[in-house]
A and B are shown apart, each in its own frame.
Chain A
C-alpha cells in the first residue's frame, strides 16, 4: 500500500484512532481536572444559594478566595508547563541514545527534565509511555536526571515521556509528551537454565520412535547416540542411508536434542523470553537439530541469533494470540513434533485456544514450559474465599497467581507442563 492508496482508503478505525489521539492531546493540554470542574459547579451553587440569597459573608470570602487560589494555581501550572516544555526541549535537543541492553539492566539516558524546586504550588512528574522501561529519577535543584531500567524486551527508535504538571491540590493539570530519539535493543533477561527442562524421552530422534511417523526401513529404529555400544549399530542401514541407527527398543544412554521449540508471546511473557534466550544460548551446534520459531516471525530458524531476534520482535505481536503457531507447524518435520516445546506466557489469553487447536490437529503431546521468576505457581496460595471476593476488590498480583495456576491446569490436559524458575534454573513438572 503506497501513500496514494493509503490516502484514498477510508477506514473508520483510522479515523477513530486519529480522533482519539487528538482528543487525548487536547485533554492533556486542557488544564482543568474533574475535581476542578466539580468545584466550579459547587462554587456556583454556593454563590447562588448562600452568598446571593443569604448574604453569607463567610462563604462570600471563601468563594472569592478559592477563585483567587484557583487562578493562581492555573497560572502557575500554565507557566510551569511552558517552562518545563521549553527548557527540557532545549536541554535534550541533541540527546540521542543508542545502546544494547537487557531486561533488568541500567541505561543512562542522559535525559534531563526541568524540575526547579523553587516553583511553588506545582508538582512535575515524568513517566515513560512505553511500559518496557521503568524510570528512576534523581532530582536536583533544577534538573531531574534519570536512568532507565528495561523491564521488557524490544527494539526502540524513540522514547516517549509523558510530563505531567499539576498543582498540589489537584485542581489543574497539564500533560504533554516529549520524545527522545534512540536506537536501543533490549534483550530478555538472562535466566538460569538446566537442559533437563527440555528433555523428553530417553530415546534418540523421532525417526523410528513408536510414537513417531514410521518411514520405510527406519521403522523401529533410532539414531545412534554417543555412548551406545557399537555392536548395536545397524551397519547395513548405514551403508544404504549413511545414517548411524540402532534398534528402537535399545535404550539410549545420552539424550537427544532434536526438537521444535515455539515461543508464544502474550501478556507477562518476559520470564518466558528469558527462558528462550537461555535456551538459545545454551543450545550448541552439535547438540542436534533445532527448529525454533516465535510469534510474529512466521518462519523456522535454526540459528540462535536469528531466534533471539525473533523473540525480541515477538513483543510487538502479543496481540496475535499465538496464531502463528498454526502457520509455522506445517514447516516442521513431523517427527520433530514429538519433541515439541512451547514456551508459554504467564497470563491467560487467546493463545490457549490456538495451542489446543495445534495439539488436536497434529496429535502431539507437547511440553509446555511455564517460566517463572522466583515464585512457584504450584505453591499453594491461600485462595480467596467467596465471601472475601465479595468483600474486597481483587489484587492484580493475586490475579496473576490465579492465571498461572489456571494455565497450568488447562495445559496439563494437553501435554506435560514444566515449570522452570529462571532465577535458579530449577525445573519440575507440574503436579
Chain B
C-alpha cells in the first residue's frame, strides 16, 4: 500500500527537498523588499509547511479539486486575517497590529500559492514549468524592476550598477544564466541523484562556454524606445493597438509641424522642436537629449539655453534664418568639426565644453549658450543615442545688468548688416509702443541700449500673459496680434515681440530657438537631461564688445503649471549611459576596480577541483586495497571482503551481475578460490555468525591469494585501465 502511495508522486524524495529549498529562496526573494526579518521567517516557514502538506496529501491521493479549494481558502484566509487584524481588532499597539496583519497576509498568500503549485507538480509533471517560472521570476522581480515599480522610472538595479562601476548587461546576463540553472532542477522528476549532479555539472560547464560565446551578444533594443519608457501605454493599449498608436503619434507630429509652420508663416518662427512633447500636454514628456558637462558652469540668469538656430532675417512676412548669422552653427557635424565665426568677447565669456547625445533626430545641433566649435564624437551606444557630438561654447559670466552703458550696434557693422538686424514689419505700432516703454527710463540712462532692452523685457514680463491656449494662428501678423491684442501667448510670441520692439529702438536682436532648462529644477549631477517639453524660443541682443547676449523673457502671469523638477534618476542614468564611463564618473583609479569575470581563475579553480577530486578518488582506491591487508579485528573483516570485491570490480568484474556475492565468487573465481573463501567467512556476521581468530588469520592469508586470482584472470590492458580508472564503485 505504501509503495502505491509513493508511486503516484512524480518526484523523488531528494528532488522534493531540493525544490522546497529553491522555493523557499524564491519566496524569500519575492518578499525581500516587502517584509522585515520576522516576515522572512514566516514566509520560509510557510513554504516548507505548504510543500510538506502538499506531499502528504498527494500521498493520500487527495483529489486535485480539494487541493485547489484548500489553496483558495488559505489565500482568502490570509487576506481576511490581515484585514481583520488591521481594521477590526486593532486593540494592541500599532507596530504589533501591522506585524500581525503582515503575518497573516504573507503566511496565507505564500502558503496557498506554494501548496497549489506543489500539489499540481506532484501529480502532473507539466505543472513543474510553473515552479520553474517562479524561480526565474524571482530574479527578474528583484533585479529588473523599475524604481518603485514605476514603468517610467529607470531600473533600480541597473542604475545602481552604472553608478558602481559595473556593466548591467553583463550582470543581467549572469543573473539570467543563474536563474536558468536554478529553474532547471524544478523540472526534475524521478531521477537518480548521481546522474542529476553529474549532468548539472556538465550543463554548468556548457553554460560557461555559452556565456563566453554570448559575451558579445546584446539584446537588440528598440531605438525608438530604448528604455521601454512607453511601456505603460503599450500595456494599456495592448499589442494590437501599437501600430495605431504609432500612426497617431505620427499624425500628431505632423499636426504639430503644421502648427509650427503656420506660426512661422505668420511670423511665429518656431521650428518643430516640440515634437517630443505631448501634443495635448497630458502625456509624459520624453527625453530628447542629454548634455554632459566637463566643468562647472552656472548661467547668469539661471537658465541653460541650448540653442539650435536663430531667426534674424525679416522677409517681409516673418523672421527666418539667414546666412548673416554665421556665428551660429546650424548644421549637424556629420563630416567633421564646424566652427562659428567668432563674435563673442572671450574676456567676458567662460569657455564651456559639453558633449551632446541626442535621443531624437535633430536637423540643427542644440548647443549650450553660444556654441563656437561643434565636432563629432563617438556614440557610446548607437542603440540608445541617434547622434553624439561635442560642443565648445562661450557662456556669459556676467549678468546683463553689468553690461549697461554699452551700445548695441558696433561702428564697424555695414549698413546692410545693420538693416538686417533692425528690420521689422511695416507697422508703426511697434515703434510707438517701444517708445512708450522706453520713455519711462531714468534720464541718466537715456539712450542706453542695454537699459532699453531691459525695460522692454520687463514690460513684456509684466504685461504679457503666458499661455499655450492662444496661438494667434489666424492673424496675418501673429506677433502684432499678440502684442497689440490680448498679450496672451507663448514663448514664440514673446520672443518675436521682444525682437521687434528692440529693433524698433535700434537694438540688434534676433530670435533664438532651442531648449531652455531651469538650473534650479535639474539634478545635482553633471548631466542635463533635455526633455521634449523644454523646447523654447528667446530673444538675443547684440551688445558691442560682448557679442550676442541672451535676453530671456519671464512672463509673470500665465496659466502654465509650475515646472516639475527634472527626473534626477533619469538624468543620472542617461548621463552615465552617455558617458559610457565604467568608472561612473569616479577617479581613474576606480576604473581599475571595474568588475571583470576572472576567467583564468575560474578555469584554474575548476581544474584544481578536478585534480583534487581525482586525488581523492585515488586515495580512496589505495585505502580500500591497502586496508584489506591489515585486518586484526573481527569487526574489520568486511574490509577484506570490500578490498577483494573492489579489486575484482576495478578490473571489470561486477558482482552486481550476479544476485549474491556468493554466486559471484562461485562463477567468477571458482569453488575452491580464495575469493569464495573470503566471501564465505566475511559474510558470516551478516547471517548472525561470528568470526574467530583463526578465520581472521585465514582472511589475511586469503586476500593476497585472491589478488593473485584476479591478476591471473585479467589481461594486461584491463589491468592498466583498472589502475588508471579513478572511480570504482562497488
**B-chain residues with CB within 8 Å of residue A397 when the two chains form the complex:** 1, 4
Cβ contacts B670-687/A at 8 Å (1 or 0 each): 000000000000000000
**A-chain residues with CB within 8 Å of residue B227 when the two chains form the complex:** 55
Query: Restricting to B184-233, which residues have a CB under 8 Å from any CB of A?
Result: 184, 187-189, 191-192, 195-196, 198-199, 202-203, 206-207, 210, 214, 217, 219, 221-222, 226-228, 231
**B-chain residues with CB within 8 Å of residue A55 when the two chains form the complex:** 219, 221-222, 226-228
Across the interface, B214 reaches (CB within 8 A) one of A61, A120, A393, A396, namely: A61
**A-chain residues with CB within 8 Å of residue B18 when the two chains form the complex:** none
**A-chain residues with CB within 8 Å of residue B144 when the two chains form the complex:** 56-59
Query: Restricting to B223-245, which residues have a CB under 8 Å from any CB of A?
Result: 226-228, 231, 234, 239
- The reply on B169 being an interface residue by CB < 8 A is yes
Across the interface, B219 reaches (CB within 8 A) one of A51, A72, A394, namely: A51
A271 to B420, CA, bound (A): 118
Cβ contacts A161-184/B at 8 Å (1 or 0 each): 000000011110000000000000
Q: Do B184 and A169 touch across chains, with their CB atoms under 8 A apart?
A: yes
- The reply on B125 being an interface residue by CB < 8 A is yes
- The reply on B61 being an interface residue by CB < 8 A is yes
- The reply on B136 being an interface residue by CB < 8 A is yes
Instruction: Choose, from B92-100, B175-183, B689-697, the stretch at the interface.
Output: B175-183
- The reply on A7 being an interface residue by CB < 8 A is no
**B-chain residues with CB within 8 Å of residue A141 when the two chains form the complex:** 652, 654
- The reply on B303 being an interface residue by CB < 8 A is no
A51 to B61, CA, bound (A): 40
Cβ contacts A49-66/B at 8 Å (1 or 0 each): 011011111111110111
A343 to B180, CA, bound (A): 60
Q: Do B172 and A61 touch across chains, with their CB atoms under 8 A apart?
A: yes
- The reply on B25 being an interface residue by CB < 8 A is no
- The reply on A333 being an interface residue by CB < 8 A is no
- The reply on B599 being an interface residue by CB < 8 A is no
Chain B interface residue count, Cβ-Cβ cutoff 8 angstroms:
60
- The reply on B41 being an interface residue by CB < 8 A is no
- The reply on B62 being an interface residue by CB < 8 A is yes
Q: Do B126 and A61 touch across chains, with their CB atoms under 8 A apart?
A: no
- The reply on B60 being an interface residue by CB < 8 A is yes
- The reply on B707 being an interface residue by CB < 8 A is no
A121 to B125, CA, bound (A): 18
- The reply on A34 being an interface residue by CB < 8 A is yes
- The reply on A38 being an interface residue by CB < 8 A is yes
Cβ contacts A357-400/B at 8 Å (1 or 0 each): 00000000000000000000000000000000011111111000
Cβ contacts A221-235/B at 8 Å (1 or 0 each): 000000000000000
**A-chain residues with CB within 8 Å of residue B202 when the two chains form the complex:** 120-121
Q: Do B136 and A62 touch across chains, with their CB atoms under 8 A apart?
A: yes
Across the interface, B61 reaches (CB within 8 A) one of A35, A64, A395, namely: A395
Of all chain A residues, the one with the shortest Cβ separation from B185 is A169
**B-chain residues with CB within 8 Å of residue A171 when the two chains form the complex:** 187
**A-chain residues with CB within 8 Å of residue B203 when the two chains form the complex:** 69, 72, 121
**B-chain residues with CB within 8 Å of residue A72 when the two chains form the complex:** 203, 206
Cβ contacts A134-146/B at 8 Å (1 or 0 each): 0000111100010
A51 to B189, CA, bound (A): 29
Q: With A120-B198, A145-B657, A170-B189 known to touch, is A65 a contact of B180 (CB < 8 Å)?
A: yes
Across the interface, A138 reaches (CB within 8 A) one of B1, B129, B183, B657, namely: B657
Across the interface, A140 reaches (CB within 8 A) one of B62, B169, B657, namely: B657
Q: Do B206 and A54 touch across chains, with their CB atoms under 8 A apart?
A: no
- The reply on B143 being an interface residue by CB < 8 A is yes
- The reply on B387 being an interface residue by CB < 8 A is no
Q: Do B4 and A396 touch across chains, with their CB atoms under 8 A apart?
A: yes
Q: With A35-B187, A168-B188, A393-B61 known to touch, is A58 a contact of B143 (CB < 8 Å)?
A: yes
- The reply on B614 being an interface residue by CB < 8 A is no
- The reply on A39 being an interface residue by CB < 8 A is yes
Q: Which of A50, A59, A69, A145 has the most CB of B within 10 A?
A: A59
A425 to B8, CA, bound (A): 34
A53 to B175, CA, bound (A): 19
Q: With A54-B228, A57-B169 known to touch, is A65 a contact of B187 (CB < 8 Å)?
A: no
A95 to B231, CA, bound (A): 67
Q: Do A391 and B63 touch across chains, with their CB atoms under 8 A apart?
A: yes
Query: Restricting to A41-89, which residues have a CB under 8 Å from any CB of B?
Result: 42, 50-51, 53-62, 64-66, 68-69, 72
Cβ contacts A395-410/B at 8 Å (1 or 0 each): 1110000000000000
- The reply on A194 being an interface residue by CB < 8 A is no
Q: With A54-B231, A72-B206, A145-B657 known to touch, is A59 a contact of B176 (CB < 8 Å)?
A: yes
- The reply on B570 being an interface residue by CB < 8 A is no
Across the interface, B172 reaches (CB within 8 A) one of A57, A64, A390, A396, namely: A57
How far in angstroms is the closest Cβ of chain B from A128? 18
**A-chain residues with CB within 8 Å of residue B207 when the two chains form the complex:** 65, 68
A120 to B8, CA, bound (A): 27
Cβ contacts B638-661/A at 8 Å (1 or 0 each): 000000000000001010110100
Of all chain B residues, the one with the shortest Cβ separation from A139 is B656
Q: Do A38 and B176 touch across chains, with their CB atoms under 8 A apart?
A: no
How far in angstroms is the closest Cβ of chain B from A395? 6
Q: Do A392 and B210 touch across chains, with their CB atoms under 8 A apart?
A: no
A413 to B179, CA, bound (A): 66
Q: Which of A35, A42, A54 has the most CB of B within 10 A?
A: A54
How far in angstroms is the closest Cβ of chain A from B661? 13
Q: Do B180 and A123 touch across chains, with their CB atoms under 8 A apart?
A: no
**B-chain residues with CB within 8 Å of residue A391 when the two chains form the complex:** 62-63, 66
Of all chain B residues, the one with the shortest Cβ separation from A53 is B234
**B-chain residues with CB within 8 Å of residue A51 when the two chains form the complex:** 219
A138 to B663, CA, bound (A): 14
Of all chain A residues, the one with the shortest Cβ separation from B140 is A58
Q: Do B176 and A62 touch across chains, with their CB atoms under 8 A apart?
A: yes
- The reply on B133 being an interface residue by CB < 8 A is yes
Q: With A51-B219, A170-B189, A397-B1 known to touch, is A58 a contact of B196 (CB < 8 Å)?
A: no
17 A-B contact pairs sorted by A residue (CB < 8 Å):
A42-B133, A53-B234, A55-B221, A57-B144, A57-B172, A58-B140, A58-B144, A58-B179, A62-B183, A64-B210, A65-B176, A120-B198, A140-B654, A140-B656, A141-B654, A168-B188, A169-B187
Q: A39-B129, A138-B656 are in contact. List 18 more A-B contacts (CB 8 A).
A: A35-B187, A42-B129, A58-B172, A60-B176, A65-B181, A65-B207, A68-B206, A69-B206, A72-B203, A120-B199, A121-B202, A138-B659, A140-B657, A169-B187, A170-B125, A170-B189, A390-B63, A391-B63
Q: Which 9 A-B pairs have the closest CB atoms?
A: A61-B176, A57-B172, A169-B187, A65-B180, A393-B61, A392-B61, A58-B176, A62-B180, A120-B199
Which B residues contact A (CB, under 8 angstroms)? 1, 4, 8, 60-63, 66, 125-126, 128-129, 133, 136, 139-140, 143-144, 168-169, 172-173, 175-177, 179-181, 183-184, 187-189, 191-192, 195-196, 198-199, 202-203, 206-207, 210, 214, 217, 219, 221-222, 226-228, 231, 234, 239, 652, 654, 656-657, 659
